[in-house]
Amino acid sequence: TKESYRMPDGFLWGAANAAHQFEGAWDVDGKGISIADVMLAGTKPWLNGQAPAKYANATAAGLATKHRLVTDQVEEGGNYPNHRGIDFYHTYPEDFALMKEMGMNAFRTSIAWTRIFPNGDEAEPNEAGLAYYDRFFDKMLALGIEPVVTLNHFEMPYHLVTEYGGWRNRKLIDFFTKYTRVVLERYGDRVSYWMTHNEINNQAQYFSDHLMLQNSGLKDYDESDAEELMYLASHHELVASALAVKIAHEVKEKVGNPKLQMANMIAMNPIYPHTSNPADQMAAYRAMEQTYWWGDVAARGEYPKWLLNYFEHHNFKIDITEEDKQILAENTVDYVAFSYYMSNVIGADDNPWIDFRLDKNHFDNEFLEKSDWGWQIDPVGLRWALNWMYDRWDKEMMIVENGFGAYDQLESDNSIHDDYRIKYHQDHVLNMERAVVIDGIPVMGYLPWSGIDMISASTGEMLKRYGFIFVDLDDAGQGSGKRYKKDSYYWYQKLVHSNGTEL
Ligand code: P53
């Protein structure tokens, strides 16, 4: 008999995705251009393999980092995979039916901000976009699938980048809270589980221009300003996030939905010390704080002292007003949502202020294997992380991403034998179950990435697949677009039906 545990009644078993990665229909029904709409496919930037001269240098850099290139506008002939996604915008009724058949009782997606406010700064929302998500959520609810919704998932209006400089600008708080109020008032009677900014803490790696744009709409800055800008933008995002909590609590009363709750959302990748050397222990401890302080502010309502010292030491001007402090203190999140994919290892250097960077003090973990994209697979780290976060923030938690990006082979009989993906989820679910049953950690649900294949966020590839459902499309958008059930689909179906015991 294999070890496994039954999850509490009402546990959410679902899957997760994000609007820009699977909806496609990038210019349909009045949608505006988002930051994802100016991102090319990572390793093969243009359909003919050649970039126009003005992007030539960027191409070389992009190929080296495997990160996606960004164009100044939507360029003719560019391979912009998010323009296509998997056409979920049109196929959602059939795709949700497949997910229902898998047994899922929850599904996480984001609302594309640009469907509601195409440029971000309009006075009135786009009714066609609002009406679309009415139909979308009603379909889910009719099938008994609980919507879990991200307000801002790497897809802010591009106009807010070019016109306002992204989140470095305090005005973004008003644009975001206006959008938040509109969608909460519209859907708050039916949609209960919300979260604000996806993986707000990825920008801790501020040397990555990709992550800076993806999180904060930061583009065209001096490299020497990157770190300060990242903290400034983060502060504005955190104030906006706290105001979203406030709005959620107001709407909850107004629409009479007692279940309505707002979370923050962080990318949780534990950071381990390289050795038992105390200097490594200290470096890893602070590296965890440097990577997860966004959660401290959202869940505890104040900045940690070490970080305020750090701002002062570096002479960073972060513009934290008395009013901001009050907003943060009064509006902490209802629950914590997080993604979990991998863990990292760091060693100390001789800087007592400790500036953890994955490109500098990073080591391979000799005990772990890696995915084809170099992500270190660490199921025990999920149990470790659940314990660490609960200790620190004392909130209920929802796992809103966990998954394995891999190349899949479609066989001639349309089967896909993704035993590597089954193993990844088995090992992670077991460690989640141990955290719930043995450690007593309150976990609301498991929403893996993903129910269905989509465009990868970091590389723009279709072939870095995550779904339990296969979508027959390649990196250039070629293929039938047909859906096929992978072996993992049937595995997850059994798991859900047994509430976690048939691992
Ligand atoms: P992709 C970096 C590190 C861990 C997760 O990632 C990350 C990122 C940023 O790309 O993103 C999350 O597609 C994100 C999803 C994304 C998923 O993980 O790069 O919330 O949008 O698709 C997987 O392989």
Q: Which of 23, 146, 155, 199 is catalytic?
A: 199
Asked if residue 117 lies in contact with residue 34, where contact means CB atoms within 8 angstroms, the answer is no
What pLDDT was estimated at residue 427? 98
Bridge partners, residue 267, by sequence: 339
What is this model's ipTM?
0.98
pLDDT the model gives residue 57: 52
- State pTM to two decimals: 0.96
Whole-number pLDDT of residue 357: 82
DSSP string covering 314-347 = TT------HHHHHHHHH---SEEEEE----EEE-
Does ligand 1 have an atom closer than 6 angstroms to the CB of 202? Answer: yes
199 a catalytic residue: yes
* Inter-residue contact 100 to 145 (CB < 8 Å): yes
Ligand 1 binding pocket includes 234 (Cβ within 6 Å):
no
Token pair listed for 489: 């689909």
Number of residues in the chain = 503
Taking the centre of ligand 1 as the mean of its atom positions, its distance from the CA of residue 456, in whole angstroms, is: 7
Q: Which of 23, 155, 289, 401 is catalytic?
A: 401
Task: Report which of 362, 356, 366 is spatially closest to residue 344, judged by C-alpha positions.
Answer: 362
SS3 303: coil
Domains and CATH numbers, the chain: 12-39+80-497 (3.20.20.80), 46-78 (no CATH)
**pLDDT at residue 54, as a whole number:** 56
Strands in 193-197's sheet, in edge-to-edge order, are: 12-13, 443-446, 397-401, 335-339, 261-267, 193-197, 146-152, 106-110
Pocket lining: 82 vs ligand 1, CB cutoff 6 Å:
no
Does any ligand 1 atom lie closer than 6 A to the CB of residue 456? yes
Burial 318-331 (b: 16+ CB within 10 A, else e): bebeeebeebbeeb
Q: So what's the pLDDT on residue 194?
A: 99
Stretches where the chain sits below pLDDT 50 are 44-48, 59-66
| Position in ligand 1 atom list of the atom nearest CA 202 | 2
